[in-house]
Every structure is written in C-alpha cells, then in structure tokens.
Amino acid sequence: MSQSRLTELTWREVRRAGERGIALLPVGSQEQHAGHLPMGTDTLLVEEVVDRALALLDREPAPPEVVRLPALPFGHSPHHLFAAAVSLSAATLGAVLDDVLDSLVTSGYRRVMVVNGHGGNDEIMRLAVKRFALRARVTVAACSYWTLTADEDGDEAGRPDVTPGHAGWFETSLMLAAHPELVHTPVPARAPVQPPPLFDHPPHPGLTVERHGEWERVDGATDDASGADADRGGRLLDGRARGLARAIRAFDAASR
Amino acid sequence: MSQSRLTELTWREVRRAGERGIALLPVGSQEQHAGHLPMGTDTLLVEEVVDRALALLDREPAPPEVVRLPALPFGHSPHHLFAAAVSLSAATLGAVLDDVLDSLVTSGYRRVMVVNGHGGNDEIMRLAVKRFALRARVTVAACSYWTLTADEDGDEAGRPDVTPGHAGWFETSLMLAAHPELVHTPVPARAPVQPPPLFDHPPHPGLTVERHGEWERVDGATDDASGADADRGGRLLDGRARGLARAIRAFDAASR
Amino acid sequence: MSQSRLTELTWREVRRAGERGIALLPVGSQEQHAGHLPMGTDTLLVEEVVDRALALLDREPAPPEVVRLPALPFGHSPHHLFAAAVSLSAATLGAVLDDVLDSLVTSGYRRVMVVNGHGGNDEIMRLAVKRFALRARVTVAACSYWTLTADEDGDEAGRPDVTPGHAGWFETSLMLAAHPELVHTPVPARAPVQPPPLFDHPPHPGLTVERHGEWERVDGATDDASGADADRGGRLLDGRARGLARAIRAFDAASR
Amino acid sequence: MSQSRLTELTWREVRRAGERGIALLPVGSQEQHAGHLPMGTDTLLVEEVVDRALALLDREPAPPEVVRLPALPFGHSPHHLFAAAVSLSAATLGAVLDDVLDSLVTSGYRRVMVVNGHGGNDEIMRLAVKRFALRARVTVAACSYWTLTADEDGDEAGRPDVTPGHAGWFETSLMLAAHPELVHTPVPARAPVQPPPLFDHPPHPGLTVERHGEWERVDGATDDASGADADRGGRLLDGRARGLARAIRAFDAASR
Amino acid sequence: MSQSRLTELTWREVRRAGERGIALLPVGSQEQHAGHLPMGTDTLLVEEVVDRALALLDREPAPPEVVRLPALPFGHSPHHLFAAAVSLSAATLGAVLDDVLDSLVTSGYRRVMVVNGHGGNDEIMRLAVKRFALRARVTVAACSYWTLTADEDGDEAGRPDVTPGHAGWFETSLMLAAHPELVHTPVPARAPVQPPPLFDHPPHPGLTVERHGEWERVDGATDDASGADADRGGRLLDGRARGLARAIRAFDAASR
Amino acid sequence: MSQSRLTELTWREVRRAGERGIALLPVGSQEQHAGHLPMGTDTLLVEEVVDRALALLDREPAPPEVVRLPALPFGHSPHHLFAAAVSLSAATLGAVLDDVLDSLVTSGYRRVMVVNGHGGNDEIMRLAVKRFALRARVTVAACSYWTLTADEDGDEAGRPDVTPGHAGWFETSLMLAAHPELVHTPVPARAPVQPPPLFDHPPHPGLTVERHGEWERVDGATDDASGADADRGGRLLDGRARGLARAIRAFDAASR
C-alpha cells in the first residue's frame, strides 16, 4: 500500500518516502458547532475525507505515494472563543505550518499538500504555502475539503447555499454519515436569523464584511440543520473524497 | 461634498467625520508588470477605481460620507522580487494594516473599508479585517477592486479567463484608459507559456498550487496583452467603479 | 463516566465541565526513534499512559472530572531534524501552549494539566505553565509521564540508568507493550558509543552540556534496546499510569 | 532627465537605474497639525522639498541619477493618537523600512537615501539605515528635511527657536508657500503654554525628557503660528531644497 | 593568571583567548528577598561562587583559561513583580542570551559556560544553550550554582529541604558569609505558611504546579531564615565553589 | 545619604524610594576600543560619571533621592562585531529597556532617568523612553553622558572635534583619569585615515551616512589617542559629572 501514516513509520521510511512521495497534512479545529455537533467536527470531517480519498487511491493501479501526517487538531477560531473554542492565533497557526513545512523539506520532501477542514484556517494556510514555495524548492498544494468535488458529482455537490456553512445542514449531514454517535439527535429546527450575518451574506457580491459580535448574535450557526440526512451526507462525503483523490492524482502528475 | 481626503483635513474634521463616516483605505503595490506597464500599476488602478466610484457617489443624493486615506503604495510582492519589486513581508503588511485600523478606531471610526489593487495582498487584507472586527467594535469591509461589478455590466465584465491576470489583457486595457502615457506601446504579443503556471491554472479545481520559481519561468505575466484596448479598458474601469460605488452604498446601509 | 474527550463534546458540555473539571492536554512529538520505533512513539506513549490513568480513575469512586484535549502531535525536536523529525520551534510550541491555555481560561477552566511525552518539550512546557499562572487566575500542573511513579512501584520503576533515554530499552519496552505491531523486531543490539554523548552523560553532576552534532554522532539513540521486553514494558506503563492517576487526584485535591 | 519616479518605471528601467542610481524614499506622516494645518502636512512638505531639490538638480549639468520611490504616507505618531493620527508603531515602521531597503538591494541598488518629514520618525529611520548598512553592501543616507540648509542661506534658515517645532510658525509658513489652499486662515494667535512642554524645552541641555500627556496639555502645537508668512515660507522651502540638492550631490560623490 | 575579565581586556586579547578559552557568563536577578536580604542577592551570590571557583582554579597547575563576562544583573522574575522586582520577560532574557552567545561565537569562542544564580532563569538558560549548540559549532554548558557540589562535601551540602529555597536559611547563610553588611539582622523567625506553596511542595512527586498568587500568599519566602549562620554559609559557598571549579575542569577536558 | 543602589536595598526600601525618588539606569557596552582601551570602556565611564555626579549631589543640601540600578553591561554594538564585541540587537536592547522600565513603574516609580555610555545605544534608548512615557504615567529622561556639560565648563568641555569619538583622545583621556591601570600605554599615534569614515564625517551637514564595512576600514577608531592626558581627562570627567548632577536636579525639579 502506498499510503502510510508518518506517525507509524521509522525515520528512514519517512526519509525514503520523501524522495518521491507527497506529504499530506490535515488541519482541523476545536470549536463550537451549535448544540448538536461536537467540538472536533472539522477535524473529524477532514480526516474522514482524507481516509476515504486515500482508500480510493489505494484501489487504483500505481497510486501516488502519500505520507499522511497526523492532523493538527487545533485551528484558528477566535470568532468562536465566545463559545469554548480552543483556538490558535493566526500568527501561531502560521508558525506551526511554517515549522511543519520546513521540517518536511529538511527531510527531503519536495511535494506537500495541506488539506483543511475549517474555514477560519483558509487564508492562513494559503499564505503559508505561498511563502513556503518562495523559500524552498517545492511544489505545494492547499485546499479546503468542501471545495473539492468530482466533475460527475452533479446534484450530489450539496445545497450550494449551505455549503459548507457552519454547524448547519451540510456539516450535520456529513457527521450523521461519518460519526452518528457524536450527533445529538433530533437536531432542533432553527428559524433564520434576521438580518442574516454579514460574514455569510455580504451586502454586495465581492465584498468581505465582518461585524463585531456577529457570531454571538446568530448563535454560532449559519443555517437550519434539522433537515440533515445521513444518506445524503454519505454521498457528499464520497463526492469530496473522490474530488480529493483526483486532486491528489492531478497534483502528483503536475508536480513530478 | 461628502468625499474627502484625510491628508487634507484637519484633525478635528477627521474626528468629526469618524462619527458617521466610512474610512476608506486603498492598498496597492510596486512590482513588475512586464515590459510595458509601470511598477505602480496596481496602486494607480485602485486609486483610479476609487476616484471614479467616489465621483459617482458624489453625484447622487445623500451619498455616504467617505474619508479616503492615502493609498498604501507598497504591497506584498515577494514573488516579484526577482524583478525589482518593492515588497513588504506578509507580517509587515499585516502590521501596517493593524496599525492603520487601530488608529482609525482610536479616532472614533466605526466603519472602515479596505480596497485592494494587488492579488498578493488579498489574504493578508482579509485576515487583517477579520482580526480587527474581533478586537474592536467595528464593521469592516474588504475587497479587491476587480471582483466588484455592477449587475447590469454584462459583457463589460471583461474576459473572465484573464480577469485580472497579471500584466495581461485586463490590466493593460485599464492602464490604456487611465494612464496611457505610462504604457509602452505597441504592446508586444506573447505566446502562451507551456505548461501554464500552476498558480494560474491549478491541476484540479479548488486547489491552490504554488511551485518554486514559477513566476520567473513564465516571465512575470499570465496572458497576452497585445490585444488590450483603451475603450474596453475605460468601460471595465467604469464597471468596477459602479460596482464599488454600489458596494459602498450597500456597506453603508448594512453597517449604519 | 467523568472522563471525556473535548473533541467529542458540544461546546456547552465543554463550558459546563470547565466549572469544576480539569482540562488535560497531552503533548507528544514526531521524531526519529532509531531504526525500530515509529516517529510517533512519544505521542503514542503519552496517550497510552493517559488512557490507562483515566481508566484507573474511572474505576474509583468520585473520580475528578477530566476533559481530555486532543494530543498535540508535534513537539520541539530540532535536535532530530537531521533524521526526519517534524519539529516546532521553541517559540512556536510555546505559542501553541499559550493559545491553548488562554482558550481554556476563556472557556471557564481554572485547572489545567499538561502531560508531556517528549524530553525536548520539557522546559518549554514548564515556562508555559508558569507564565499562564501569572497572567490568569488558574492552578496549572505539568509533568513528563516517565517521571511519575507510584510509591509502591519499587522495582517496576525501570532501570534508572535508561529512564527514559531515547529509543532505547525503556521506550522500546513500553512500545512492545502498547503497540507491538509498530516495533520492528528483532531489535538489533547496539554497542555503547564512546565517549557517551555529553547531553546524556554530563562531565560533572549538575551540569547541562550540549555539543553541536552530538545526536548525529551517537546515531540518535542513548542505549541498547535489544533487551526490551513487552511484559516489563506493560508493568512500567501501568506504574506510570498509576502515578499519573494519583497525580491527577492529588492535583484535584490541592487545587479545588 | 535623470530624476524618475519608480512608480512610473517598468521593472527593467528600475533595475537598470539601480546599477548607478540613488533610490530616494520620502517618509511622511498623517497626524494632527493644530486647527489650521492638514493631517498630511509632513508628507506634503517632504514631497515639496524633494520635488524642488530634484528640479534644481535637473537644471544642473550631469546630475546624479535619482529614482524616487512613492512617499510612505504614514509615520510613527503615537503621541498624536489623542488627536486622530494614523500612526504606525515603531516596530511596524522599522519593518516597512527594512522591507523597502531590502527590496532595493535585491533589485541591485547600492545607494539609498531616506528623506524624512516627521520628527517622530527620526530615530526609527536612523536605526533602519544603520542596520541596513550592516547587513548589505550599501551606502545609505538619512536626513530630516528641515536640518538641511545650504551654507549661504544665512538668515533664511528660519527662526531657530521654532525650527521645525510642530504646527507652528515654521510649518505653517512652509504650507502657506506650498499648499495655501490647505491652510485655514487667518491662523489664530496662541499664547505660550506654561510651563512649556518638556519634550520641547528640556530642563537641562543634552537631556531628552518625555512626560506622559504632555502633547495633550499643550494642545498639540509648540509655538504661535499666527505670524506665519508665505514669502518667508517659500524662501525657507527653497533653502531646504537647495540643501537637499547639495546633500544628494555630496552623497553621490562620496558613495560612488 | 589564566582567569580574566572580558570587560578589562582589549578586543585582541578577547579574540586570542577565544581560540582556546572558555567564556563564562554569570546571570543573576534583581528581586525581592524578603525583608532582610537585598534585591541583588542572586547576582551577588553567583558572582561570589564564580570568584571563589576561579580563585581555586588559579591556584592549580595548568588551569583552564576562562574569560569571565560581566554578570547580567537582571533575570526573569515576573513572580516577584508584586514586590519590586526588576524583571526581564522570558522572551527578553532568551534574546539577551542568544545575542551574547552569538557574539561570542562570532569572536571565535567555541566553548561557553553559563552560570546561573536565580531559579527563575533556569529553563530559559537551558533552552538558550540548547538552541545555541544547534545553530553553532560549539560546546556549551549551563548550571545553577546551588546544584554543584563536590563529591566529598558530604554534610556541607546544606539542608536539602531548604536548598536553595528563596530568601530562607540557605541564601541567608550564604549572604551572611559573603556580604554580611547587606543582611538586616537579626533575621526574624517565620512560621511555616499553611498550606505550603504548591510551587515548592507539589502535591505529587514529579509534578510542577503553579497557582496564581502563590508567592504573594506566602509573602515571598519559602522557609525560616532565622537560623541562618555565616560559618555554615561560608562552608556552603566554598563547597559550591569547589563544585564549580571541578565542573569547569571537567567541561574543559570534555570539550577540548 | 539619599543615593542608594537598588541591588543593595530590600524590596520594601525600593518600593518606598519609588514614591518620591528617581530611578537611574546606566547603560554601557562591551566592545572594542582599539588596542589600548578595554572592552568595557563605555560601561566603566558611564559608571564613573554617575558615581561622581551622585557624590556631588550628596554633598548638597536636600539632594534629590536617586535609586541607582546596576548598569546594563551590554549594549548595541553590531558595528563592532568584527572585533569581538558582545552585542545585543536593537530589538533585544529595546526589550530590555522596556522590561526594566515597566518593572519600575510596577514598583511605583514615576520618574526614571537613563544615562548612556555608548553612542550605538542612543536611538534605542530614546525610542524606549518615548514609548514608556506614552504607555505609563511617568516622566522619564535620557541622556548620553558626554553631552552633559555644566555652563561654566568652558574650555574643559573637550575638543569638540573629538567628543566623544571612539577610542580616541576623549575616551582615552577619561580612562587615564578613571582607570589608568586598564589603559595600555604608551598609546601609539595614529595617522588620520583617508577618506575619513562617512559615519563620522558625513559629506553634508545634517546627513547621517552609513557605509558597509566602514568601521573595519578605519580600524575601529575615529581619531589619534596618543595625546590623551589624565589630568585633562579628570577635568572632563568632573565637567560631565557636574553636568549630570545639575541635570538630575533640574529633572527632579521639573518632574516633581
């Protein structure tokens, strides 16, 4: 099998894999996901998508060699500190990514992929991979798992208006498929908050708007999760896993 | 007139405007724009769009009060240092934005908008406004000028495959409209680089990919600028200006 | 059961537990452990000891309430970068600990315990808990798992001359007990390196001595692991688990 | 013409000029200047002096080649934050200067001059040029525009007791000459504050003294501006411009 | 004499000594030592031990060459800021040590020893020497003076339960021997504080515990100093000095 | 006596003195001073001037209460690292000053004076006192000892063209008066270096110019020290001491 976990390899195996392989780092978070989902939702889901994608690749002929690092279980969630998040500052998360990426290049890796499970990590991850590619002779990819879909997925891509949202229909469906025992059911219905939060509904397309206290005002979620569905969640997860598997293949081909 | 320049106001005027007004900070860059465009292209264009947008607003009844700060003429351009950029590090640019935003809130501003002219500033700007809204009781917006279009713009939105690109058809058209004396013409044609740069053509949708040395390899531009056109550029600029004017109105309404 | 995993709790459960509970953060590493142990040895062992300790407490009446955070899988291992470590700098690890501890106090926790699995983290962890107790109204404990033994453990405390050492008899015995499938056996014998490394054998008691390149010179291990033994390892693990369980009880009693 | 603006050059022109030319960076501020002068006074005046100096040089035979960077419009003005300044911290301003200077040396410049318009930037600028000359093979000059006078200027050097002061006779005279439309006239007379501010009148020569709240106490200005005079201001500006032109020539000769 | 003070040497002497010599940096503190000992106790004692150790070495044949730096008179004492300490943050003290150590290696030193007089500096010092040995080709030692005893010292090693403690029997005895004029006598007796401070009496062996406000609660000292004794103090000092002299010899032999 | 050394006081004495007293911090350096003066020259001289000034004050009626901190023996000397300096970076020295000043205000001091003995510390010291007075309700003074002269000193003020210079006539004269045993005599004559160093002889008045490698080129000194004279040095020291004594009185009067 060409997919391995760095934590289980000896250092010589890690070094050897670095000659041709891709190091893959999942990044998650520990933050509030309303009253029905657990704190680790983002970490659990990114790991689930990675698990499924690597399993898909493993069934193919000549899969790219991937060394999976342990997921970073903490992310950048200052907007959820009002509700018990465990959050790294942007500077700290950026430093963690720098240190991990620098370690990998020191160990001989020339291809790295960061797979993210939490929206708040997005810009920090992208800045980190950009500066990494400037200071080291590497090719590096970054993505957030929910943005990856396979072309044929069609109507399984989810409801675009709630993808991914936060602690709503999309994430709840995925968790019902992946970790049903961690979802408090039945999930209560939730009326839309008026006005909707500016971070989710900017007043003009192309504008990013942030208002102090907005997450508290909308009670920490973006949409109604009561219609979440395990079957649909499973298909959505599989779609993302297929998308990630293809992205890994494409990255492998482009960066060899 | 409700649009003013902070640099020309006395401090009491600045303070007074802060009670109800919106502070607007343009951010540019000084970096290579191929052989035919000047280093300050991004700064010049963001200022042009802001100028036109504020002029549009000024012709309307009861425009929102906007205090325009001097543009920050330097941005984050480490990927262009191979070609004479003057670049701030991500940490430095983030610190400048933090300091400017903190100064504004100290002066009583509760609404700020950052308008960006350079792709490399994007994540840094968005992280800055997010952390600003967490530490201060403000509403803050951020955008890059090329993402703003007015709904009716239709075919004037530009060629999506080259919007904005770098030093190509889009930016050259805009510069021909705004600062023709600074464009070296005729602009030479340029054959597509093969393979196209990974930062511009990621191998899978949803993936950000950065490869060391890619900007040098493609000689600093993304597409052929030889078909650039001043008339088209003027309409594109006007479209962005209309978009920005509407975005300012919408932000004003949403954040009052 | 009074022991829970933060990653599986909803935020309200995390908040509620913070009123009386103890937050426990395991910290590990990803670093070379000679040719026979995996990179994640320190993380796996600290998690094993914590698992066993919490299981022991759970069998007792009225155990203290403990909320276990996900282990930080990366530690400070710059001295192992020559052999494929994934290492955080001291500044980064300190920042991660600060951010996690600050998050916990924001969420209402007043009692925190950090349990460490890697020698290189030790000073950083202790500095972090000291500054935490200065800036927040908390009581905070820190330990490295191998230093905790129960009074009656007697001869099960291990061979003091190799406790814990690195990638030698002690750690290999523990791994044979906890994760035998991850140990490459038979473990080859290793002749003592002469002179022994200064970091392990300082030339005078009370002196810390560091010499450039010493870890490379001794090939990354401190002692011969060929005599490691799963039974002994199991008893050593249980001894540490009993020690940690008692330490948690004692900390609970002293900090209530 | 041998004086050019970096913002208007293509990158190859910037690179070519770097082989023999001097890069010149003006640094200003945005801060209160009493009730009659605008926030941008320091930036406007340093630009005016640079404009006039470069125009003088341009009329001479074989002038040194100078590439002028866009002025940094923000400076270090924490002592004016009580009155609507937009201020960079000392660390931020130092980082901006480091980044700009490092960019220039990367682009081939070996000679740089920083021309300052705001007293609060002075030490930061001098530290920046000192560390720049230590880490790079460059010759670098720094000055504040008001300290430069041509030898023959004699009585046009200004009133030494109010040169430059802040928002008083000197700056007001210069602004009346350079930007009369931005001066609110008539400028009201102002009685001397008793005791005079310690930062301006230290109790013993050679002593720098700073007292908390002193700028607020003296209402943000050092001396009476009501006698300011456009003619005198024009001669003072010309004197500084002649001084700067000579300083540039002298620096060019000494650093070739 | 082979022991010299850097402060009294010319730079060529410093450089020459660096070829074979050991640079020795004492580090102290300025912090409260109860009502009877002076703020500089830690600095004075570490200097006293170093003085005596170097005098001992100087009487021996072929002593190692030691260049003694001036003691850093300030240490990390944030826990004593409630009582007039002059304290460097951990980051600042670490930076001072980095800068001093880097300067020494720039000057040609390959062997450095840091001798510490204050418990609060301990982890910071050890982290500093560890990272120093990673980035420079040096051998570096660190110790706190009270941990060094000569083998034959036997009962002169002090009362282990109060070694060193803070401002108690041990330090007072040493100060009575070294600087009796700075000790306010008679030293008042002090009843044990109940419960004893957690930093000094952790609830379980192997645990480091810090509680907010603990130093204030115990009034800044760990034990009763009223039985302190100058004769005993002198023997204790001599024991440490013998220990340090031997440690220097051993370090010299091991690092040549 | 109203002058005391913080290092010899108990914390309650330090606290009590803070209510009305002035804390005085001398700052020195360890850096090359040519072949005839010791590394600690700047530290020794600033301490000598402070000693003499405080002795003068002590002979007067009702002298201001001064608590003298131990001198910081290391300064910012990166330009002397080519010749065995022990140098703190500007950031480190700034952090030390911040930490010391913050500690003092925590201990109740409202008046602080920093007395500097090394030119390279000057801007850093002035920035530190400026930011201190902004963040704390204090009055703070800073000076370099050589700038302070008493009005009647007249011809004893030294040779202005060599005051203070570096390792030349001025400093050598002072050292011959204060520490003759540390001066290697006879001091060799030194021919002027041509061209003179730009840092000491800027090509235009008002310009600060730094050229890479200049200190090495001029062999570390600014002027000929062979005419240095102990008597003259003693009078110069006394003049500075009188100046400092008056400056302290004046600061005391202005800041009460």
Query: Which of B32-36, C71-75, C191-195, E209-213 is predicted least confidently?
Result: C191-195
The answer to whether the CB atoms of F90 and D133 lie below 8 A apart is: no
Shortest alpha-carbon distance between residue D142 and chain F (Å): 5
Q: E42 or B155: whose pLDDT is higher?
A: E42
Among C207, C214, C246, the residue to mutate for chain E (most E Cβ within 10 A): C207
Distance CA E86, CA C127 (A): 19
Among F4, F6, F92, the residue to mutate for chain E (most E Cβ within 10 A): F92
* Nearest residue in chain F measured CA to CA from E179: F8
Cβ partners under 8 Å of residue C21, min gap 6 = C2, C64, C65, C66, C67, C109, C111
Q: Which residues of F226-238 are buried (b: 16+ CB within 10 A; e: fewer)?
A: eebebebbbbbbb
Q: How many CB pairs under 8 A join A and C?
A: 165
CATH number for F3-161+238-255 (one of 3.40.50.10310, 3.40.50.720, 3.20.20.70, 3.40.50.1980): it is 3.40.50.10310
Is the bond preceding residue F192 a cis peptide, omega within 30 degrees?
no
- Kindly state the average pLDDT of the residues B127-140: 98
Are residues F207 and D143 in contact, defined by beta-carbon separation less than 8 angstroms? yes
The answer to whether the CB atoms of F103 and E89 lie below 8 A apart is: no
Instruction: Out of E11, E87, E184, name the one closest to residue F10 (CB).
Output: E184
Shortest alpha-carbon distance between residue D207 and chain B (Å): 30
Give the residue ranges of chain D where pLDDT is below 50.
1
Shortest alpha-carbon distance between residue D215 and chain B (Å): 14
Chains touching B (3+ CB pairs < 8 Å) = A, D
Is the bond preceding residue C164 a cis peptide, omega within 30 degrees?
yes
The answer to whether the CB atoms of D209 and F255 lie below 8 A apart is: yes
- Kindly state the average pLDDT of the residues F93-122: 98
Q: Which residues of C touch E198 (CB under 8 A)?
A: 139, 254-255
Token couple for D206: 């050679």
Q: How many CB pairs under 8 A join C and E?
A: 151
Q: Which residues of A touch C72 (CB under 8 A)?
A: 73-74
Among D49, D129, D210, the residue to mutate for chain F (most F Cβ within 10 A): D210
Q: Which residues of C touch E79 (CB under 8 A)?
A: 130, 134
3-state secondary structure of D24: strand
Q: Report pLDDT for A162.
A: 85
The answer to whether the CB atoms of C212 and E137 lie below 8 A apart is: yes
The answer to whether the CB atoms of B39 and D10 lie below 8 A apart is: yes
pLDDT band per the 50, 70, 90 thresholds, residue B163:
confident
Chains touching E (3+ CB pairs < 8 Å) = C, F
Residue C65: is its pLDDT beyond 90? yes
Shortest alpha-carbon distance between residue C108 and chain A (Å): 8
Shortest alpha-carbon distance between residue B209 and chain D (Å): 25
pLDDT band per the 50, 70, 90 thresholds, residue B150:
confident
pLDDT band per the 50, 70, 90 thresholds, residue F116:
very high
The answer to whether the CB atoms of E96 and F81 lie below 8 A apart is: no
For the beta sheet containing A208-211, the strands, ordered from the edge strand earlier in sequence to the opposite edge, are: A208-211, B139-144, B111-116, B22-27, B66-68, B3-5
Q: Which residues of A touch C38 (CB under 8 A)?
A: 7-10
Distance CA F40, CA E11 (A): 10
What residue ranges in D117-199 does DSSP mark as E strands?
Answer: 139-144
- Kindly list the averaged pLDDT for each block of 10 residues, start to end, along chain A of length 256: 88 97 98 98 98 97 97 98 97 98 98 98 98 98 92 70 92 98 97 94 96 96 96 96 97 96
Q: Report pLDDT for C84.
A: 96
Q: A157 or C47: whose pLDDT is higher?
A: C47
The answer to whether the CB atoms of F203 and D254 lie below 8 A apart is: yes
Q: Report pLDDT for C153.
A: 66
C22's enclosing H/E stretch is: strand C22-27
Residue F99: is its pLDDT beyond 70? yes
* Nearest residue in chain A measured CA to CA from B147: A206
Q: Report pLDDT for D3.
A: 84
Cβ partners under 8 Å of residue B164, min gap 6 = B119, B146, B170, B171
Q: Report pLDDT for D153.
A: 66
Residue C156: is its pLDDT beyond 90? no
pLDDT band per the 50, 70, 90 thresholds, residue C1:
very low
The answer to whether the CB atoms of F148 and D206 lie below 8 A apart is: yes
For the beta sheet containing A3-5, the strands, ordered from the edge strand earlier in sequence to the opposite edge, are: A3-5, A66-68, A22-27, A111-116, A139-144, B208-211
Q: Which residues of B touch D183 (CB under 8 A)?
A: none
User: Which residue type is seen at B73?
Assistant: P
The answer to whether the CB atoms of A39 and C81 lie below 8 A apart is: no
Per-residue model confidence as pLDDT tens digits over E74-113: 999 999 999 999 999 999 999 999 999 999 999 999 999 9
Distance CA C75, CA C96 (A): 10
Mean pLDDT (chain C) is: 95
Domain extent listing, chain D: 3-161+238-255
* Nearest residue in chain C measured CA to CA from A88: C99
End-to-end CA distance of chain D: 20
Distance CA A156, CA A154 (A): 5
Residue C206: is its pLDDT beyond 60? yes
Q: Report pLDDT for C58.
A: 95
- Kindly state the average pLDDT of the residues E20-42: 98
Residue D87 CA, distance from chain mean position: 16
- Kindly state the average pLDDT of the residues B169-176: 98
The answer to whether the CB atoms of A250 and B136 lie below 8 A apart is: no
Chains F and D touch (3+ CB pairs under 8 A): yes
pLDDT band per the 50, 70, 90 thresholds, residue B10:
very high
The answer to whether the CB atoms of F9 and E39 lie below 8 A apart is: yes
The answer to whether the CB atoms of F14 and E43 lie below 8 A apart is: no
Q: Which residues of C touch A36 (CB under 8 A)?
A: 10
Strand partners, B72: B27
The answer to whether the CB atoms of F251 and D211 lie below 8 A apart is: no
Instruction: Out of F129, F198, F209, name the one closest to residue D210 (CB).
Output: F129
Q: Report pLDDT for D150.
A: 72
End-to-end CA distance of chain E: 20
Q: Report pLDDT for B1.
A: 47
pLDDT-above-70 percentage for chain D: 97
The string of DSSP letters for C160-202 reads GGGSS-SSSHHHHHHHHHH-GGGS-SSPPP-PPPSSPPTTTS-
Are residues E102 and F92 in contact, defined by beta-carbon separation less than 8 angstroms? no
The answer to whether the CB atoms of A141 and B208 lie below 8 A apart is: yes
End-to-end CA distance of chain C: 20
Shortest alpha-carbon distance between residue D37 and chain F (Å): 24
Chains E and D touch (3+ CB pairs under 8 A): no
- Kindly state the average pLDDT of the residues C54-60: 96
Among F4, F7, F112, the residue to mutate for chain E (most E Cβ within 10 A): F7
pLDDT band per the 50, 70, 90 thresholds, residue C155:
low
Shortest alpha-carbon distance between residue F256 and chain D (Å): 11
* Nearest residue in chain A measured CA to CA from C84: A107
Q: pTM here?
A: 0.97
Shortest alpha-carbon distance between residue A98 and chain B (Å): 13
Q: Which residues of D touch F254 (CB under 8 A)?
A: 195, 198, 203, 209
pLDDT band per the 50, 70, 90 thresholds, residue F153:
low
Chains touching D (3+ CB pairs < 8 Å) = B, F
Chains F and B touch (3+ CB pairs under 8 A): no
Token couple for D60: 């001479």
Phi and psi of E25, rounded to 5°? Answer: -115, 115
* Nearest residue in chain C measured CA to CA from E129: C210
The answer to whether the CB atoms of F140 and D246 lie below 8 A apart is: no
Token couple for E166: 């803070």
Instruction: Out of E8, E33, E88, name the one closest to residue F96 (CB).
Output: E88
Residue F208: is its pLDDT beyond 70? yes
Query: Which of A163-167, B177-181, F50-54 is predicted least confidently?
Result: A163-167
Q: Which residues of A touch C184 (CB under 8 A)?
A: 10
Using CB atoms within 10 A of its CB, is residue D27 exposed (0-12), middle (13-18) or buried (19+)? Answer: buried
- CA torsion, ordered B87, B88, B90, B92, to nearest 10 deg: 180
Distance CA C251, CA B101 (A): 44
Are residues E91 and F95 in contact, defined by beta-carbon separation less than 8 angstroms? yes
DSSP single-letter state for residue D160: G
Mean pLDDT (chain E) is: 95
pLDDT band per the 50, 70, 90 thresholds, residue C191:
very high
The answer to whether the CB atoms of F142 and D207 lie below 8 A apart is: yes
Instruction: Out of E141, E142, E204, name the one closest to residue C250 (CB).
Output: E204
